[in-house]
Chains A and B, each alone.
Chain A
């Protein structure tokens, strides 16, 4: 791929995102920094921690009213804040694929699966409709859908949630992206289907040498699946650590989140709740 910057696909330095509210601005992201190479990075935190907003900011998909500032917000050397709309269009859905939580809402309900994937392929590749359809078929095979020919002509309501998510992934792979942003890709799915979809994403990411940003509220899931984890709280990064060390996390917030989950192996009469410490939010030195 062109223009590699010392292996970094994504570089984020001091990113701040504010949303206007009636009395000023709400700070959704308050000065976060991290970078991502061709690896699997997990971003975890509760709802409202700013993890999704961070992913959206990188694709410049936030509403116009949002105020986005950063010392650096770059994708493979491209300055996302200064890029033209045309440049962004080649990034979005082209070099960066976005997989969202619920395929029910992100697929077009009145267009057949085959046409949707072909459309994604045509938007970023040169070729005719015949080729696009062939490409769609091959993509469905790559996401391990049994009987891809039948699925090609079906509509989103005719497929299960897990299959819908496979179709979303197929669509995102159409333009051969360098980075996949998966925003809670399995939260709407059953545990068993969840495992299959994550395995699929894992295989595709390593086969194609892509980078992956996995945004999730599910700490154990991220720990099992990613190389590195960034833990976010209230728009700030609490800590960043190798995923395999997550159970040894040092920050009180991470520890608190891990501790308040009910466990099958350990019986407890009451679950500890999270005591949010105002000191977590003081600006880091």
Chain B
């Protein structure tokens, strides 16, 4: 579903993503982990078309990506960001936020779709005419997920979707994401620094360091501690230590 081959990204003279290649099968959830500055979010944002200055080859659903993304791309691929407060328009109601992608893509039947989207992410009906600041952090992230899903994408790019949330709310959002993925057969890429979160959602993952992928392993290998690269081993050890 998603192919990335020899991707390089430069920010000015900084070479931040170096020769990154991976493939994600349809219906699979693929994790990108690493410390800040490892380039994991940059890879995701480059796929989404948020970074210029890349070379290499990227394709989604068999279609090669050029320098610009067209409307069809955004109907197929949607993104959820870390901080829902920063990614929702502060002066738009939830209703308006959810209606916009429908207008952009010329999708009819806004009324029933918005109602259904709110139900799907388990938001109360009353949330529809609220502003983002009137919702809790978990509710805001649900709105961001509802917005991403309302135009029926097949690919979801998730950039640290639960890092800004309490663990209790994180559990709810992670459960919601697994349910939606199941129900809609979504292909996902999840960027996170939290190995436990990645292991929970992903079948395979790539570990990044200094802009490179140092190793790709399966969830089972990750849980069993069967990592070949020393950086992965360090991350696993640290994660176990934090779990206590």
Question: How far does the alpha carbon of A89 sit from the alpha carbon of B200 in the complex, in Å?
Answer: 48
**0/1 string, A217-242, CB within 8 A of B gives 1:** 10111011000000000000000000
**0/1 string, B223-236, CB within 8 A of A gives 1:** 10000000000111
**Residue B178 is within 8 A (CB to CB) of chain A in the complex:** yes
Determine which residue in A219, A223, A261, A274 has the highest number of CB atoms from chain B within 10 A of its CB, and name it.
A261
The smallest C-beta distance from A195 to any residue of chain B, in angstroms, reads 7
Q: Range of interface residues on chain B?
A: 20 to 34
Which residue of chain B has its CB nearest to the CB of A45? B166
Which residue of chain A has its CB nearest to the CB of B166? A46
Residues 223 to 279 of chain A near chain B (Cβ within 8 Å): 223-224, 247, 256-257, 260-265, 267-274
**Residue A77 is within 8 A (CB to CB) of chain B in the complex:** no
> Known contacts A192-B238, A195-B238: does B244 contact A260 (CB below 8 Å)?
no
CB-based contact A273/B137 at 8 Å: no
Which residue of chain B has its CB nearest to the CB of A247? B244
CB-based contact A192/B35 at 8 Å: yes
The smallest C-beta distance from B145 to any residue of chain A, in angstroms, reads 16
> Known contacts A264-B199, A264-B239: does B244 contact A273 (CB below 8 Å)?
no
- The answer, among A47, A193, A195, A271, for a CB contact under 8 Å with B137, is A47
> Known contacts A192-B238, A220-B242, A224-B244: does B199 contact A273 (CB below 8 Å)?
no
Q: Which of B44-52, B101-109, B167-175 contacts A (4 or more CB under 8 A)?
A: B167-175
Residues 172 to 218 of chain B near chain A (Cβ within 8 Å): 172, 174-175, 178, 193-197, 199-200
Which residue of chain B has its CB nearest to the CB of A48? B136
Question: How far does the alpha carbon of A273 sit from the alpha carbon of B234 in the complex, in Å?
Answer: 30
Question: How far does the alpha carbon of A265 sit from the alpha carbon of B194 in the complex, in Å?
Answer: 13
CB-based contact A217/B171 at 8 Å: no
CB-based contact B168/A273 at 8 Å: yes
Question: How far does the alpha carbon of A161 sit from the alpha carbon of B36 in the complex, in Å?
Answer: 10
Q: In the complex, what residues of B have CB within 8 A of residue A141's CB?
A: none
CB-based contact A191/B168 at 8 Å: no
Q: In the complex, what residues of A have CB within 8 A of residue B166's CB?
A: 46-47, 217
**Residue A71 is within 8 A (CB to CB) of chain B in the complex:** no
CB-based contact A273/B236 at 8 Å: no
> Known contacts A195-B238, A271-B200, A273-B168: does B195 contact A264 (CB below 8 Å)?
yes
Question: How far does the alpha carbon of A264 sit from the alpha carbon of B220 in the complex, in Å?
Answer: 10
> Known contacts A191-B242, A195-B238, A271-B175: does B36 contact A260 (CB below 8 Å)?
no
- The answer, among B36, B178, B196, B223, for a CB contact under 8 Å with A261, is B196
CB-based contact B36/A264 at 8 Å: no
Chain A interface, DSSP helix/strand/loop, else mixed: loop
CB-based contact B175/A270 at 8 Å: yes
Q: In the complex, what residues of A have CB within 8 A of residue B194's CB?
A: 191, 262
> Known contacts A195-B238, A224-B244, A265-B240: does B193 contact A190 (CB below 8 Å)?
yes
Which residue of chain A has its CB nearest to the CB of B38? A190
**Residue B243 is within 8 A (CB to CB) of chain A in the complex:** yes
**Residue B114 is within 8 A (CB to CB) of chain A in the complex:** no
Residues 116 to 171 of chain B near chain A (Cβ within 8 Å): 137, 166-171
CB-based contact B197/A191 at 8 Å: no
Determine which residue in B169, B193, B200 has the highest number of CB atoms from chain A within 10 A of its CB, and name it.
B200
Question: How far does the alpha carbon of A257 sit from the alpha carbon of B168 in the complex, in Å?
Answer: 6
**Residue B88 is within 8 A (CB to CB) of chain A in the complex:** no
CB-based contact A257/B167 at 8 Å: yes
**0/1 string, B71-93, CB within 8 A of A gives 1:** 00000000000000000000000
CB-based contact B171/A260 at 8 Å: yes
The smallest C-beta distance from B202 to any residue of chain A, in angstroms, reads 11
- The answer, among A191, A264, A270, for a CB contact under 8 Å with B178, is A270
CB-based contact A263/B244 at 8 Å: no
CB-based contact A260/B196 at 8 Å: no
Determine which residue in B197, B239, B243 has the highest number of CB atoms from chain A within 10 A of its CB, and name it.
B243
- The answer, among B168, B223, B243, for a CB contact under 8 Å with A260, is B168
Q: In the complex, what residues of A have CB within 8 A of residue B36's CB?
A: 161, 190
**Residue B222 is within 8 A (CB to CB) of chain A in the complex:** yes
Residues 108 to 163 of chain A near chain B (Cβ within 8 Å): 161
> Which residues does A use to contact B, with CB under 8 Å?
46-47, 161, 190-193, 195, 217, 219-221, 223-224, 247, 256-257, 260-265, 267-274
**9 other contacts beyond A195-B238, A220-B243, with CB at 8 A cut-off?**
A191-B35, A191-B193, A191-B235, A191-B238, A191-B242, A261-B170, A261-B171, A270-B175, A271-B175
Q: Give 11 CB contacts A-B under 8 Å.
A: A190-B35, A191-B238, A191-B242, A193-B35, A260-B167, A262-B170, A264-B236, A264-B239, A271-B174, A273-B171, A274-B168
List the 7 shortest-distance A-B pairs measured between CB atoms, nearest first: A260-B171, A262-B200, A271-B171, A274-B168, A46-B166, A262-B196, A220-B244
